[in-house]
Amino acid sequence: MEDWKSIEKEYYMPVFDRLPLVIVRGKGSKVWDEQGKEYIDFVGGWATCSLGHCPEVVVEAATEQLKTLIQVSNSYYTIPQLKLAELLVKNSCLNKAFLANSGAEANEGAVKLARRYGKLRLGGAYRIITALGSFHGRTLAMTAATGQAKFQSPYTPLPFGFLHVPYDDIDALKEVVDRTVCAVMLEPIQGEHGVIVPHPDYLMKVRRLCDENGILLILDEVQTGMGRTGTLFAYEQFGIEPDILTLAKGLAGGLPIGAVMAKENCSCFKIGEHGSTFGGNPVSSAAGYAALKFIIDNNVPQGVAEKGRYFKVRLEALKSRFSFISDVRGLGLLLALEFDSDIARRVTMNCLEAGLLVNSVKANTLRFMPPLTISREELDQGLSILESVLSSKEETF
């Protein structure tokens, strides 16, 4: 058996804080390591495995496309790309779509589109307001857009043009809107900051502020889209519509993809002003179409809402039992458990040993993003492991 950890140390750039686990196989809501040990997966590839690991509908679509057409230039039409764009538009409030490779690239495209709009229709306005605690991707511009210093400090000086204000604070937002601002870009829920859910009327107030000032509202739904929160898109739960929407993660059931969507009035790219070599790749697009159609046809978001409520009730029960749990929050199957001290990594390691994958998104917070198709029985199995870990370690925590 190969020593993959040593191979990684010798050949791979050390950018990931990996857990001591080599995953070799996955099916549904479970994965297996080299020794054949089984784990319940509450991480889901950072919310990418929307339909679980190796879902048949995605595997079949991607396999057939691999045998038919893998890649051509975007100088030509390809059917999977256009089928997915059509399906996205017909099931959203947006009118146009552009397919990219990732969430970071989708957000880059959204920022470029907003700046193009500002140049054409807002007298050259170019600045974009984002929130403290936000996360919009790992490219240099999206690092600048992200409102967390820990991601920014290694790469200064950063591209200019981004303003950061406290999340869920409409007054702070009002203070910085001026004629240089072309858009506000927000996550409906701040996943990477610990699953922070705003007050129910916050996004509606932001929408109104944008309308009053003639600027665009960009919603980064890279993590919250595709049924993750209990509706196909999270904006549906807040009673608003964005001007621009970004998607990725769960869109293609685990294959790399991203999407920028826009309303007709702000879809102002002209030929040659944006593009991508691999964006809208036939294989990823075919997988995306198959995954999205399955989500829609089988009303997966309704099941997510029901399972999410059950999951949250179970987490609230743990909070009632263990005094060191300080908060439970989230929507659908994007949930978090916060502790009153920095024990999340220790809990994560103990869960791993017991056969459960969880994500210590912050030093004091666990994030849960299981596949949308996870069964009630699998939820119970994973939650029982979590409860056992917390119970057995209660005195040390």
Tell me how far apart the 2 most distant CA atoms of the chain are, in Å.
63
The CA distance from 112 to 135, in Å, is 17
The CA distance from 311 to 322, in Å, is 17
Q: Which residues are catalytic?
A: 135, 220, 249
Name the nearest CA neighbour of 163 among 155, 171, 173. Answer: 173
Locate 105 and state its tokens: 């690239």
CA angle 44, 219, 375 (to 5 degrees): 25
The CA distance from 202 to 190, in Å, is 13
285 with 80: CB under 8 angstroms?
yes
The CA distance from 224 to 103, in Å, is 12
337 DSSP assignment = E
- Residue 72, sorted as left (phi over 0), alpha (psi -120 to 50) or beta, turns out to be beta
3-state SS, residue 165? strand
3-state SS, residue 261? strand
Contacts (Cβ under 8 Å, ≥6 apart) of 238: 188, 200, 202, 203, 204
